[in-house]
């Protein structure tokens, strides 16, 4: 795949990822990037996100029952968890891990991975 042209739309989306405090939905990306480029279309955001994902620059974060969110691959590569604000529906990165989850696993089972999402109200909504 040829390298992606450095467009102002691409740069606006990259900036949104760099400034985010957690994984972003397509709609959130669109809103944040439109602060820089008022005419940015939703289809363009989808196209750029797909391309950035194919190139390994971003990774998807699966959210049960909802559309995937996206974060920089550099963030996704380090073990972390998320906090979901139930009022504004935003997600935030949580650094660290509680550990000790092996004690929750039934006897004879082997824990290979885990994903933890805490829910509640963010500082802005609390």
Domain range summary for the chain, segments of one domain joined by +: 8-75, 80-120
Reply yes or no on whether the pLDDT at 54 is more than 70: yes
Q: What is the pLDDT of residue 44?
A: 96
The structure's pTM equals 0.85
Reply yes or no on whether the pLDDT at 3 is more than 60: no
Q: What residues does 84 pair with on adjacent strands?
A: 91, 119
Q: What is the pLDDT of residue 10?
A: 95
Reply yes or no on whether the pLDDT at 93 is more than 80: yes
Q: What is the pLDDT of residue 2?
A: 54
Interior/surface letters 1-37, b for 16+ CB within 10 angstroms, e for the rest = eeeeeeeebbebbbebbeebebbbbeebbbebbbeee
pLDDT averaged over every residue in the chain:
93
Q: Considering the domain delimited by 8-75, tell me its CATH architecture.
A: Orthogonal Bundle (1.10)
Average pLDDT over residues 72-96: 93
Q: How far apart are the first and last CA of the chain?
A: 46
Average pLDDT over residues 87-108: 92
């Amino acid at each position: 795949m040829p390298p992606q042209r450095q467009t102002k739309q691409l740069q606006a989306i990259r900036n949104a990822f760099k400034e985010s405090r957690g994984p972003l939905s397509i709609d959130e990306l669109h809103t944040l990037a439109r602060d820089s480029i008022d005419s940015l279309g939703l289809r363009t955001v989808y196209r750029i996100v797909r391309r950035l994902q194919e190139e390994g620059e971003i990774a998807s974060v699966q959210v049960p029952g909802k559309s995937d969110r996206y974060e920089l691959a550099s963030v996704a590569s380090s073990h972390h968890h998320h906090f979901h604000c139930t009022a504004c529906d935003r997600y935030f990165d949580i650094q660290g891990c509680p550990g000790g989850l092996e004690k929750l696993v039934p006897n004879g089972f082997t824990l290979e991975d885990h994903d933890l999402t805490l829910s509640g109200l963010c500082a802005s909504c609390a």
